[in-house]
Amino acid sequence: MEIFEHNLLFLFKNMPMLLSGALTAILLTFTSIIIGLVVGIMVTFFRIYGSKFTKKLMFAYEWLLKGTPPLILIFIFYFGLGNYLNLGEFFAAALALGLRSSAYQAQIYRGAVLSISTEQTEAGLSLGLSRFRTFYLVILPQAIRLSLPGFTNEFTIVLKDTPLAYGVGLVEILKAGRDILAQQLSAAIVSGKVTASLNPFIVYLTCALIYFVLFEIFYYSLNALSKKFQIPGFIFDK
Amino acid sequence: MRFIEKIIPYIPLLTKGLGITLELTILSAFFGFIGAIFLVIGMLYGNRFFKILSTGFVTLIRGTPMMVQLFLIYFGLPGIDIRLSPLTASIIAFIINSSAYQAEYLKGGFLAISKEQLEASYSIGLNKWKTIQYIIFPQALRFAIPALSNEIVYLIQYTSVAYTIGLPELFYISKNFASKTYMNIEIYVFIGIVYLILIYIVTRATEIIQKKFYIPGFDLSHLK
């Protein structure tokens, strides 16, 4: 019981460290998702309206990024590009996760765009809008709403991928947990008390709990958002 | 050129790493599938207790990152006096993780089968378990093949995470190579291609399997 209290007290003292890790994880998720959104929309546009060659190129882009393990992408951006361009661990991870997400997001948006009738494109073109403006003004606002459920899913996947940045030393939740354990171990060695009493199980369980809470918060709020923006009468089944 | 020179002595180690990656993937996919069958039956047909238990399990596992589960099992369990080797820990972690995801995919397949079929099956005298076995399962499985193929792809990619607990799989070996030779970009691109080839084989194979088990005239695609 005493050990249990000691653990809780220790965790309580180190909560700021875990929470700042959580903040980093949230920031990383948002940055990656935004990179994925911008690049993903461009890929969608070229995949649908591009020439034969660009279509193939975009297909290859999607296939490559979906097929490579995210961990390898992070390492390529951090260590591989490190010789030429130092991105720092945060942006290396954000770029790797973001570009991977762009491939998945492009797939989600393509499904949504293709489910909007071609008559709408024709109508847009006949009004004198350019191809790009038709896409941007007519198709995209609808497609974004239709793709919100898929987007929610993708958002939580990126959130769950953030601990991969541990590999390049970014202090997110998991790394913060590990640092807390390491700190207490070195403190125990310095003070001469060999009995390291902080239980790693409790520390990692707390980390898991923080991820779970974040996951549930984003999952439910994004789901509520997609319900709110649902187009009335427009049933979209994937 | 220098890269090829350096990688040749590493080939036996890389092959061994590839073996561990494949072993981990196949074991987790297979036992994860068996776990998923129990979970999905619990979620859909179990009594209150099993329903809550299996749904809660799937929600918790799908709501936390794979890597945290792996850390909890390998670094956390010694805190309550359970010590596992990196290989055992990662096999357990991946089976647990995969079973939850596969259960969710199978559930989609189970739910896609119309109520009328169940009624028909009950009316010809099959009980609940026989109905699941003969009517629902064969169809649900066909319906879930694309999702299960994605799960194997996911497993191949995420087994690389096991390097964090010191399992010498493919990624661990390449990281080792990178830190010895400083040829980061070369090795990671090379190993990325190896993963791409593996994933290409899996997707092609599932396409073939899907075609093989296709029932002529019986198309589930309208349910999608």
Which member of B68, B78, B79 has the closest CB to residue A163? B68
Chain A CB within 8 Å of residue B164 CB: yes
Work out the average pLDDT over A70-92: 84
Q: How far apart are CA B38 and CA B143, in angstroms?
A: 18
In the DSSP assignment, the letter for residue A85 is -
Q: Are the beta carbons of B164 and A215 separated by less than 8 Å? A: no
Q: How far is B220 from chain A (nearest CA, A)?
A: 14
Which member of A160, A178, A202 has the closest CB to residue B65? A160
CA atoms within 13 A on the CB side of B19: 6
Contacts of B66 (CB under 8 A, 6+ apart): A160, B93, B94, B97, B158, B161
Q: How far is B37 from chain A (nearest CA, A)?
A: 23
Q: What is the pTM assigned to this prediction?
A: 0.86
Chain A CB within 8 Å of residue B66 CB: yes
Domains of chain A, residue spans: 2-228
Which tens digit of pLDDT belongs to each residue from B20-75?
Answer: 999 999 999 999 999 999 999 898 888 889 999 999 999 999 999 999 999 999 98
Q: Which residues of A179-201 are buried (b: 16+ CB within 10 A; e: fewer)?
A: ebbeebeeeeeeeeeeeeebbbb
Q: Are the beta carbons of B67 and A204 separated by less than 8 Å? A: no
Apex B59 CA angle, B54 and B64, nearest 5: 130
Residues of A in contact with B76 (CB under 8 A): 200-201, 203-205
Q: How far is B153 from chain A (nearest CA, A)?
A: 8
Is residue B125 within 8 A of residue B95, CB to CB? The reply is: no
Q: How far apart are CA B161 and CA A164, in angstroms?
A: 7
Greater pLDDT, A117 or A156: A156
Which tens digit of pLDDT belongs to each residue from A9-33?
Answer: 777 777 888 888 899 999 999 999 9
Residues of B in contact with A181 (CB under 8 A): 75
Determine which of B68, B159, B220, B222 to mutate to test the interface with A (most A C-beta atoms within 10 Å). Answer: B68
Which tens digit of pLDDT belongs to each residue from B76-135?
Answer: 888 787 888 889 999 999 999 999 999 998 888 888 877 788 888 888 988 888 888 888
Q: What pLDDT does residue A237 have? A: 44
Helices assigned H by DSSP within chain A: 2-49, 52-67, 70-75, 88-114, 118-126, 131-134, 140-146, 148-161, 173-191, 200-228
Q: Is the ipTM of this complex over 0.90?
A: no
Which tens digit of pLDDT belongs to each residue from A119-140?
Answer: 888 888 899 988 888 888 888 8
Q: What is the CATH number of domain B2-223?
A: 1.10.3720.10
pLDDT at A235 over 60: no
Of the candidates B91, B94, B160, the residue with the CA atom closest to the CA atom of residue A68: B160
Is residue A47 within 8 A of residue A102, CB to CB? The reply is: no
Determine which of A29, A32, A68 to mutate to test the interface with B (most B C-beta atoms within 10 Å). Answer: A68
Domains of chain B, residue spans: 2-223
Q: Are the beta carbons of A216 and B199 separated by less than 8 Å? A: no
pLDDT at B6 over 60: yes
Q: How far is A166 from chain B (nearest CA, A)?
A: 9
Chain A CB within 8 Å of residue B171 CB: yes
Q: How far apart are CA A195 and CA A66, in angstroms?
A: 46
Greater pLDDT, B209 or A235: B209
In the DSSP assignment, the letter for residue B64 is S
Tell me the two tokens of residue B186. 């070369």
Of the candidates A68, A63, A23, the residue with the CA atom closest to the CA atom of residue A47: A63
Is residue A101 within 8 A of residue A33, CB to CB? The reply is: yes
- How many A×B Cβ pairs under 8 Å? 117
pLDDT at A61 over 70: yes
Lookup result for tokens 């929470």: A19
Q: What pLDDT does residue A180 have? A: 85
Look at domain A2-228 and name its CATH class: mainly alpha
Q: How far apart are CA B97 and CA B101, in angstroms?
A: 7
Packing angle of the helix pair B11-45, B137-158 (nearest 10 deg): 140
